[in-house]
Amino acid sequence: DAGVTQSPTHLIKTRGQHVTLRCSPISGHKSVSWYQQVLGQGPQFIFQYYEKEERGRGNFPDRFSARQFPNYSSELNVNALLLGDSALYLCASSWGLWSGGTGELFFGEGSRLTVL
Amino acid sequence: AQSVTQLDSQVPVFEEAPVELRCNYSSSVSVYLFWYVQYPNQGLQLLLKYLSGSTLVKGINGFEAEFNKSQTSFHLRKPSVHISDTAEYFCAGASGGSYIPTFGRGTSLIVHP
């Protein structure tokens, strides 16, 4: 079975531009979460979506937005990019909000964004 | 919200030696704790989790962790490490009512031959 897939794997943008990152969850998973991992730090929570509704939002500015589609895939959008947005963006999926009671998240390999 | 602290940013160790990676959490109310591993250029993979029950939790690849409520700790241990265990290890926690785990800053385990 395919795991969580993310695209693109690497991308370079300049300040002020917009970026869209995509995530396909494991088949059967209905929840998708997005995390930002700055070099040398742990993942920071950005958004959680379940059944196409936002169920959690981290402490990120309104430049960050996301959505989940009927097939449970998801997009993360970042507007007006800043140098500090350079990071690895991780998508994680799970069966439900608490993954059927296990709490486990399944992570993709991430999209590495560099802002120049 | 639950927060976790990983006390060591880097832990060097020789192959076949034991290792302990330390993690402390902030809240003892309905706490759920996890250890994830991240190999270079890969996503995170769950090693083990504590949800309830036995305080000694066994995971994959020979790792185990002990939930200690009095010390608010959840340290990860392995009796004998291999070169292939070289990776970044993240402790994560969630509290009752929140389904969103908070991650620590990570500990880089470096296994030398």
B12-34 pLDDT, tens digit per residue, is 999 999 999 999 998 766 788 99
pLDDT at A64: 98
Task: Report how far apart, in Å, the C-alpha atoms of A94 and of each of A75, A86, B83, B89 are.
Answer: 16, 26, 31, 20
Q: Which of A38, A53, A51 is nearest to A90 (CA)?
A: A38
Q: What is the DSSP letter of A52?
A: T
**What is the tally of structural domains in chain A?**
1
Contacts of A66 (CB under 8 A, 6+ apart): A34, A46, A47, A49, A54, A74, A75, A76, A77
Residue A75's DSSP bridge partners are: A22, A67
pLDDT at B79: 97
pLDDT at B28: 60
A107 is a domain residue:
no
Domains belonging to chain B, first-starting first, are 4-112 (2.60.40.10)
**pLDDT beneath 50: ranges in chain A:** none
CATH number at residue A63: 2.60.40.10
B50-104 pLDDT, tens digit per residue, is 988 889 999 999 999 999 989 999 999 999 999 999 999 999 998 766 778 889 9
A16 is a domain residue:
yes
pLDDT at B1: 66
A86 is a domain residue:
yes
Cα(B15)–Cα(B112) distance, integer angstroms: 6
What residues make up the domain containing A19?
A: 5-98
Name chain A contacts of B102, Cβ cutoff 8 Å. 45
Q: Which of A90, A83, A81, A96 is nearest to A112 (CA)?
A: A90
CB interface of B with A, residues 29-68, below 8 Å: 32, 34, 36, 41-46, 49, 51
Contacts of B70 (CB under 8 A, 6+ apart): none
> Which of B42, B94, B103 has the CB atom closest to A42's CB atom?
B103
